[in-house]
Chain A
Amino acid sequence: MIKYLLRRLAFGVVLVVVVSTLTFFLVFSGGERVAANILGDSASSADIAALTHKLGADRPLLVQYGEWITKAAHGDLGSAWTTTGSVTEILWRRVPVTLSIVGTAVLMMTAISAVLGITAAVLGGWADRLIQVVSVIGFAVPNFWLGLLLIIVFALDLRWLPATGYVTFASSPAAWITSLVLPVTALVLSGIASASQQMRGAVIDALAQDYVRTLSARGIGPASILYRHALRNAMPAALTVLSVQFIALLGGAAIIERVFAIPGLGELTVRSAIVGDVPVLMGVVLTMIVVVVIVNIVIDIINAWVNPKVRLS
């Protein structure tokens, strides 16, 4: 098992290094263009050259990369180009916001799609058809459009919930929850649509195994077979679904944060992408991959724990 986890960890480290390197060379390649973009249409070429030099973007890319990676290894991701403050500071403010949205969404998605998936797998019939309808809707309705519709109905028309903004948990837990309801709902529908479908498949597969018949033949009841044996064996497949959906939700949050004016990582990415704040973009990409890698390793550990073949290898 140690070997398995080390291999997964190695994959994670390689992924972080390769992706951040590729990203660096892509996003830092257009330093002059970014400088022009920051200064606006009226800037002279001398102004642009001066700003490019000031940002250090006129040096060879390899030199810039060497500097960036050395600092990054010490936890310093440089300074933002278009706002004041260091990139790490900005990221630290943003990460908890995004994680509270995505974390809540993951929990809701897991709970709802597990219930839907298991019900559909066991009952078939109407539950099965419901899940199929939900999955088509969830796939076809873009989360940002759903977000707009939710705002129109629940914030502008019914005035039940705030249309935009984010309140930290520390300042007011109740307001924190109300500020999360609409964004999380908009974000989670597509996740539920696809995860419940896949959980249904995983449970059906587990219930079709030979040992289920043998256990029934020994007098074990359907409840114990479902909850103890089938769900345990459906876990690895469900965990894979979770790790894929987590990545999708992280990406989806970028758009949702924009719709609901939530100051998270996604909103930061969008703004930095439009103005071309390269060090911030670099920091966001790095943070995202590190979060994905950590979540995947946690999922690998859970998987090893439920699956004796992995645990004892």
Chain B
Amino acid sequence: MNSSIAPAVRERTSLVRSVLANPTGLVASVILLSLALVIIFAPAIAPFDPVKVQVFKVNAPPDAEFLLGGDGSGRDILSRLIYGARNTVLGALIAVSVAGTLGVTTGLFAGYYGRLIDTIASWISNGLMALPAIIVLLAFFQALGSSIYMSMAVFGVMLSPGFFRLTRNLVQGVKHELYIDAARVSGLSDLRIITQHILLVIRAPVVIQVSIVSGIAIVIQAGLEFLGLGDASLPTWGGMLQNAFDNLYTAPLSAFSSGLAISLTVASLVLLANAIRDRMQRGDAPQRLRHLKVPVRSTSAPAPASADILLEIRDLVVGYPGRDGWVNVVNGVSLSLKRGEIFGLVGESGSGKTQTAFAVLGLLSAGGRILSGSIYFDGQDLTRASPSEMRRLRGRHIAYVPQEPMSNLDPSFRIGYQLVEPMMKVLGISRAQARKRALELLGHVGLADPERVFKSYPHQISGGMAQRVLIAGAVACKPDLLIADEPTTALDVTVQAEVLDLLRNLQAEYGMSIIIVTHNFGVVADMCDMVAVMRNGAVVETNAARELFAAPQHEYTKMLLDSVLEDSKPRTYSAPQEELA
């Protein structure tokens, strides 16, 4: 068991260190640490007794004796500020302890055991969240015995849904992870699984939540005291603000110090939470590095000589900002595609094939840049085209069929609208014309009831139907080049063949070129004239499909083909297998 604990300890020390390495995290930690010291050593630091009244110091301005002046009763504001930290933080601790204990415990049970407990706890949690906390605390104040700490305990209950939902969702997320299953199968009791594995996962998010909830509790407690619901004999920051409010017209300055103390403390808690969150999300924070310099590009390579070549990519390099500079996901890809040709781009996931396709479309994900190379499409270098020039090409000349049919239709709009809107925009035709053409297209891609599909929302049709809709949308404006990114991967095997047939027929009918991005050699064998095999962002081998299957030149291609043959046979095209054998 020691082995499972050791990494956690290591992670914790590095978490503290990296939060301190973050400037805001450091400042916040220093402020909170100073606050802790003030609380511990209050009697030693405070120059005066916080409740000692000096009549001639009522609403006195700051002087050598009372550094921050005197309050409305003639007490030293600085001393009250120092002692007030104790009582304010104590209230917040009570609220956070109640909220955390209650919320995390119920969240663990609801998330781990689910069902009835989850339903009941979620109802209670939703009910608590529907109540304005301060009104409830005000209403209960007399009934709870007029104690601010009792009120803070009740406030803890009202804050517990935050912890509950956080814990429950995290636990539900990891409950079915393999290592939890493995622990269960190996006979660990639920209690040990929860304490050893699940608590590890929820630890950091709960620390963040504690930090934020402490801030909320400090503000609410100060608010109640400000309203006069605190213990008047105890110095608190909220009580000091109340005193300042009562003397607002005579000594307005006394309202500053206690309010500032509250704000500084709460801001430090939030910034600390942010620093921890930043540290946890370090992996996916490319935004920080968006300002990486793009290397100066050399002069453009000449356009392809032959007018027969529709697309020519030369030495394409695509990069995304990483922690230590650009990370190249496409690294020197060259390929050329003739008009009317079907070109297969094959490789394992992460080989850069999809990024190459997105570069042609000009639709790289956020942060991605073409760092060098050229993409000639119909004589124009797309790497130098402006965003608006690219927009004019997309849809009209270059189209795209995505991998996941369901997530690529906007769930809020009817399918008909999603076909009609681009056609009106790109082809400049009227709504009625676009509607007519959309219905024709839907029939053309093999949908039995075009009218019904036209009126449907995406969630009302199947994945196979959605992919046909997307193909209809892609060919709607008769593009020269269709880029299909794994067009069959997400579909049932029976539907896959139909979709490939549809693509082949549309290609023949419109005479367009197609790039099929795929990891499946069966699809290549079935469809493609030419094929390029990609690995680690580069093309290792390009050849006519037949020849590539017959005599693969590169070791990697051979290995891929071998693994296909071991697993399963390519779907329809049988000749290459015989030749290979």
Q: Which residues of A contact B (CB under 8 A)?
A: 11, 15, 18-19, 23, 26-27, 29-30, 33-34, 37, 124-125, 128, 132, 136-137, 139-145, 148-149, 151-152, 156, 208-211, 213-221, 224, 229, 232-233, 244, 247-248, 250-252, 254-255, 258-259, 266, 269-270, 273-274, 276, 278, 281-282, 284-285, 288-289, 292-293, 296, 306-309, 312
Contact = CB atoms under 8 A, between A and B. Distances in A.
Interface stretch (B11-19, B193-201, B223-231, B555-563): B223-231
Nearest to A282: B139
15 contacts: A18-B127, A152-B252, A211-B407, A214-B400, A214-B402, A218-B399, A219-B394, A219-B396, A219-B422, A254-B134, A254-B135, A273-B229, A274-B228, A288-B135, A293-B130
Given A142-B223, A148-B255, A251-B132, 11 more contacts: A136-B274, A152-B252, A209-B410, A211-B407, A214-B400, A218-B476, A224-B421, A232-B413, A252-B134, A258-B226, A292-B131
B90 interface: no
Contact of B130 (A23, A30, A292): A292
Contacts of A11: 123, 126
B266 A140 contact: yes
A221 B407 CA distance: 19
Interface in B123-181: 123, 126-127, 129-136, 138-144
Contact of A255 (B139, B143, B226, B409): B226
Contacts of B426: 218-219
Contacts of A211: 407-411
Given A19-B131, A27-B139, A148-B255, A139 B229 contact: no
A306 B219 contact: no
A269 B139 contact: yes
A140 B263 contact: yes
Contacts of B135: 250-251, 254, 266, 269, 284-285, 288
B412 interface: yes
Interface in B229-249: 229, 241, 244-245, 248-249
Given A219-B477, A269-B135, A307-B412, A145 B259 contact: yes
A38 to B, nearest CB: 11
A36 to B, nearest CB: 11
A144 B229 CA distance: 15
Contacts of B132: 247-248, 250-251, 254, 288, 292
- Mostly, the B contact residues are helix
A140 B395 contact: no
A251 B134 contact: yes
Interface residues of B, number: 78
B460 interface: yes
Nearest to B358: A213
Nearest to A278: B142
A105 B306 CA distance: 66
B131 A156 contact: no
Interface in B428-480: 457, 459-460, 470, 473-474, 476-477
B134 A255 contact: yes
B186 interface: no
Given A142-B219, A217-B361, A128 B287 contact: yes
B127 A15 contact: yes
B215 interface: yes
Interface string B507-544: 00000000000000000000000000000000000000
A273 B135 CA distance: 10
Contacts of A148: 241, 244-245, 248, 255, 259
B381 interface: no
Given A27-B139, A251-B135, A274-B229, A136 B474 contact: no
Contacts of A156: 248-249, 252
A169 B154 CA distance: 38
Contacts of B402: 210, 213-214
A39 B41 CA distance: 42
Nearest to A144: B226
Pick the most buried of A128, A213, A216, A218: most chain B CB atoms within 10 A of its CB.
A218
Contact of B474 (A19, A218, A244, A266): A218
Given A142-B222, A214-B400, A255-B227, A281 B138 contact: yes
What 6 A-B pairs have minimum CB-CB distances, sorted nearest first? A219-B395, A251-B132, A217-B400, A145-B259, A140-B267, A218-B422
Contacts of A209: 407, 410
